[in-house]
Structure 1
């Protein structure tokens, strides 16, 4: 089915882009909650699912609010105030959600196969329960997304910068027509096809917010809550290469500066890993790995993220650049 939304010149002038951590939370959890493995994200899902199971996040508040398919609660995706909001800012907006909006979302969610008890508690006392929801989102972020965020954010920012340049060169209409096969723009009308639920212009405020997503593929997802602008979360460019191993051919040059052991650990961190895993793969002792990781973290080359009783270490974009051959 096709839906047509009429936009004014003022709406088009207010079109903007934003990278939203919460859209990545919602869409990534939805993929993990689906019945089939995500074809583009299998490598990531294989690493993340065991952590979520150990933490019990497969049966918590997010499992109740984010199904493998169907309607998504709009209050989980507040309108970003700027182009690159931090997760903390979006969690604060979720905590401020009005009880009326939360209950309206819950009324839309199909109760089948959902933990009705949790949703009932949220309906009865949104203010108190939203604190628990936000805490669980933070826990999910640390386990599933934070160790990978530099890589994901780089992809999303590259999409925004590419499309912003396209707007400057060809105009907003061109960018909207290139956004996704189910979206088109013509003479002030935005057309969307193959949506699961109805969408009208009266449901949205002025402007249009375009949100690239690493996990929304293969569809475009929307948020339409007046007086906020319509949000379109669309698959970012280059998703197919997101989880490919990154080149580390410059290790000899880096080893001359950092030393062999630290360079080896950076190369091993193509995917996030714990101290124990790195010790097993590198042949170094756990104590030596810990010492090297501390030095690398102090230098801004790795980050640490709490995952239950262990810490997952990940390479930063600076380290990626060091390990990438020049020319």
Structure 2
């Protein structure tokens, strides 16, 4: 078992970050025929033809997909854990700038003695990989990114609340991966290889919409871990209409907003999840606030809305 030696400073710098690139890397094994998490078959069926067209035209992408289906070591240069919120373009640029020796060493570890696929045995391998991952992002992930990002941000808000209430040990135990905090060690169960000292940079925790459980190590600059986000099974399902009683009382739009606020969410997250306009969601929230059914508060740069006890009682009454 590997471990990450940490200090109170490391825990203070450990944070949650949404990584678009981590979603792309995690989607490839599923599209290549891997085990599908609950609820993911609708998404894979919807993008299957586009994915097949991409791999047919790009031997590098096909080699990547084949590698990720069989390896226990995902090359770290695919996804350098970001310290702050980033765009996919910024992450793709980081992949493209990976020195050849670093990219080559990562691939050799991933192949574990097997012959490297010819498509990946090229001088500009980092640039070619970045181009292939960008094609997957543009064609398969970006069209659904607003909904996906809202789900990932919602997951972070929920876990941040548990962090404030119970501390990091509780958060690590609830990530759905083999990780735990014991004294000054973050234990990484089922992870082979060397242990590392975080050295004050902390750990980046990245929620994933594709059920990924991957450790990314770029010592001494960055250490990261992807974990399955909550609520993915419902991400691709058709929206369930608000119950007739609540819709008749509040109006169907306001009822849908109230039901969606079982956990805190921002206006933009509600827009992405409900498919409403920004103005429509804003109007519904204003009415619900004046009625005492929702409240709002600031979390960092975001304004989050949540149901009041009265709003909870009304939603539960109509469940």
Q: TM (normalized to structure 2)?
A: 0.70
Offset of residue 317 of structure 1? 4.7
Alignment-derived partner of residue 77 in structure 1 = 79
Gap regions ≥5 residues in structure 1:
254-300, 302-314
Out of 172, 177, 183, the residue aligned to residue 176 of structure 1 is 172
Say yes or no: does 1:230 pair with 2:231. no
Q: TM (normalized to structure 1)?
A: 0.69
Structure 1 pair 223/58, CA: closer, same or farther in 2 (3 Å)?
farther
Alignment-derived partner of residue 64 in structure 1 = 63
**Aligned-residue CA RMSD (Å):** 3.3
- Equivalent pair of 2:6/2:198 in contact (CA under 8 Å): no
Alignment-derived partner of residue 24 in structure 2 = 25
Alignment-derived partner of residue 163 in structure 2 = 167
Gap regions ≥5 residues in structure 2:
249-267, 289-314
Separation (CA, whole Å) in 1 of partners of 2:142 and 2:189: 33
Out of 196, 202, 208, the residue aligned to residue 207 of structure 1 is 202
- Equivalent pair of 1:204/1:226 in contact (CA under 8 Å): no
Separation (CA, whole Å) in 2 of partners of 1:204 and 1:103: 26
Partner SS, residue 203 of structure 2: strand
Offset of residue 3 of structure 1? 3.0
Separation (CA, whole Å) in 1 of partners of 2:172 and 2:69: 27
Alignment-derived partner of residue 34 in structure 1 = 33
Offset of residue 153 of structure 1? 0.7
- Equivalent pair of 2:211/2:227 in contact (CA under 8 Å): yes
- Equivalent pair of 1:16/1:208 in contact (CA under 8 Å): yes
Structure 1 pair 114/159, CA: closer, same or farther in 2 (3 Å)?
farther
Offset of residue 57 of structure 1? 5.3
Alignment-derived partner of residue 156 in structure 1 = 152
For CA contacts below 8 A with separation 6 or more, give which structure has more relative contact order. 2
Separation (CA, whole Å) in 1 of partners of 2:37 and 2:114: 21
- Equivalent pair of 2:63/2:120 in contact (CA under 8 Å): yes
Structure 1 pair 68/184, CA: closer, same or farther in 2 (3 Å)?
same
Partner SS, residue 207 of structure 1: coil
- Equivalent pair of 1:205/1:229 in contact (CA under 8 Å): no
Partner SS, residue 191 of structure 1: strand
Separation (CA, whole Å) in 1 of partners of 2:189 and 2:215: 12
Separation (CA, whole Å) in 1 of partners of 2:61 and 2:200: 27
Moved over 6 A (4+): 111-115, 323-327
Counting matched residue pairs gives 258
Offset of residue 212 of structure 1? 0.5
Alignment-derived partner of residue 15 in structure 1 = 14
- Equivalent pair of 2:208/2:229 in contact (CA under 8 Å): yes
- Equivalent pair of 2:19/2:82 in contact (CA under 8 Å): yes
Offset of residue 86 of structure 1? 0.8
- Equivalent pair of 1:211/1:231 in contact (CA under 8 Å): yes
Separation (CA, whole Å) in 1 of partners of 2:114 and 2:52: 19
Partner SS, residue 237 of structure 2: coil
Out of 233, 236, 239, the residue aligned to residue 243 of structure 1 is 236
Structure 1 pair 60/241, CA: closer, same or farther in 2 (3 Å)?
same
- Indicate the larger mover: 231-240 or 27-36: 27-36
Separation (CA, whole Å) in 2 of partners of 1:171 and 1:30: 33
Alignment-derived partner of residue 271 in structure 1 = none
Partner SS, residue 147 of structure 2: helix
Alignment-derived partner of residue 118 in structure 1 = 119
- Equivalent pair of 1:57/1:140 in contact (CA under 8 Å): no
Separation (CA, whole Å) in 2 of partners of 1:73 and 1:139: 19
Say yes or no: does 1:135 pair with 2:135. no
